[in-house]
Amino acid sequence: MSQITTLIQPHGGKLINCYLSEQERKENLLKATNLPSLTLSIRNIADLECIATGVYSPLEGFVNKQEYNSIVRDMRLPNGLAWSIPVTLQIPESEAEQYKLDSEIALAHPNGEILAVMTVNSKFKPNQRFEAQQVYRTSEEAHPGVKAMLQEGNVYLGGPIKLINSVPYQDFLDYRLTPEASRVEFARREWNTVVAFQTRNPIHRAHEYITKIALELVDGLFINPLVGQTKSDDIPADVRMQCYQVLMQKYYPQNRVCLSVFPAAMRYAGPREAIMHAIARQNYGCTHFIVGRDHAGVGDYYGTYDAQYIFDEFTVDELQITPLKFEHAFYCTRSQSMATGKTSPSTKEERIHLSGTKVREMLRSGKTPPPEFSRPEVAEILVSSMKLTTV
């Protein structure tokens, strides 16, 4: 007999859906052609997608001034609901005059296609240095998140959106599950408990180890790699997807793992981004979320486990998704297996530490990652891709 599947509620209790009916879409598209048009950046498009499909529930648009101030200051929306990073629509001050307060504007793809209509109910210039310090813990432009924020513009427009046309993706079409679709899939598989794994790197042996430990505790594993904008030196998403696919085929039980892309752009906001990532996965229908070493980190801006500590600042009523906190995993030469400091008595010299950074360094120097570091099938894909980029 099939079990009754009861999925976790979306953050805030309601899954946001900004899609219009066909009739509404036609009416709004006609109207939008006569509205002031704003061409979205790559990060804007990713945020629009996440808002419209409910990934960022309960947000119904780009944040207004009141929401922005509350998030930056307190990591909560004005109603007290947990939210850690302001999702903003920014423009240069030189272009601000054409977008009027209390009016509608068209949001366009760089190819000219109108994607959405937004009601501008807020227009303001915040203290970006304060935002940077609060969200990224630094105002240095060397930080990729700070740099991206400053480049987007210093005038912020806020307001709800209505999606007219879906974002015209050409890649990963079989792996673009919206929260509504992932919930249907989890229910079909009769998964009541699901653990999400966020990554922007190929899955190396340490990742495989912690995901499989997590899989012992729940019904299913949701591998949800970020494929939005990342740093130029990160391994491209299409290469990473090949790695995820071969790993799933050979090293994971097919009936207990689901692969789908996360369309968000990477902010590298460390602890605050860990909270945002967890909330997004709750909206996808996940009950648990893996938080490892330096989640969403970059450089030396955050402490090794700061992204785990920040969850202690929220109650179980504020964040229903459960974080699974893992120590830095390594290959133990004494036991000849993966381990952490909790399970291995090995000395420092007996531990081979793994990281996405080390993988990239080895590939750039023409070295093949060893089996203690990466599955041979994954290493082969990575080496082949590096050869293609250097030809």
- pLDDT digit string, tens, across residues 241-256: 999 999 999 999 999 9
pLDDT exceeds cutoff 90 at 106: yes
| Average pLDDT for 280-286 | 98
pLDDT of residue 386: 75
| Residue 202 or residue 106, greater confidence | 106
Q: How many CB atoms lie within 10 A of CB 77?
A: 17
**pTM metric for this prediction:** 0.94
Domains in the chain with CATH codes? 22-163 (3.10.400.10), 173-389 (3.40.50.620)
pLDDT digits (tens, 9 = 90+) for 321-355: 999 999 989 999 999 999 999 999 999 999 988 66
Quickly count: other Cβ atoms within 10 Å of residue 192's Cβ: 16
Tokens (6 digits) for 88: 């903003």
Q: Please list the active-site residues.
A: 200-201
pLDDT of amino acid 233 = 77
Q: Grade residue 4 by pLDDT with cuts at 50, 70 and 90.
A: low
pLDDT of residue 100: 96
Q: What is the mean pLDDT of residues 82-111?
A: 97
Q: Does residue 1 surpass a pLDDT of 50?
A: no
Residue 391: per-residue pLDDT:
42
pLDDT at 229: 83
pLDDT, position 234: 81
Contact in structure between 206 and 359 (CB atoms under 8 Å) = no
What whole-number percentage of the chain has pLDDT above 70? 97
197 and 259 Cβ atoms separated by less than 8 Å = no
Q: How far apart are CA 91 and CA 149, in angstroms?
A: 11
Q: Residue 171 pLDDT more than 60?
A: yes
Does residue 389 carry a pLDDT above 60? no
Indicate whether 2 pLDDT > 80.
no
Q: With bands split at pLDDT 50, 70 and 90, how would you rate the model's confidence at 50? A: very high
- Between strands 337-339 and 351-353, the pairing is unpaired
pLDDT score for 353: 84
pLDDT at 360 over 80: no
Contacts 24+ apart (CB under 8 A), 351-356: 353/328, 354/204, 354/205, 354/206, 354/329, 354/330, 355/204, 355/206, 356/200, 356/201, 356/202, 356/204, 356/235
Q: Which of 232 and 275 is assigned the larger pLDDT?
A: 275
Render pLDDT for 192-216 as a digit per residue (tens, 0 to 9).
999 999 998 888 899 999 999 999 9
Q: How many residues are present in the chain?
A: 391
Picking from 321, 292, 289, 318, the residue whose alpha carbon sits closest to that of residue 307 is: 292
According to the model, what pLDDT value does residue 372 have? Answer: 86
Residue 220 β-bridge partners: 194
**What local confidence, expressed as pLDDT, does residue 388 receive?**
55
Q: What sign does the dihedral 263-148-119-158 (CA atoms) show?
A: positive
Q: Any bridge partners for residue 159, and if so which?
A: 62
* Of 293 and 118, the one with more pLDDT: 118
Average pLDDT of span 90-112: 96
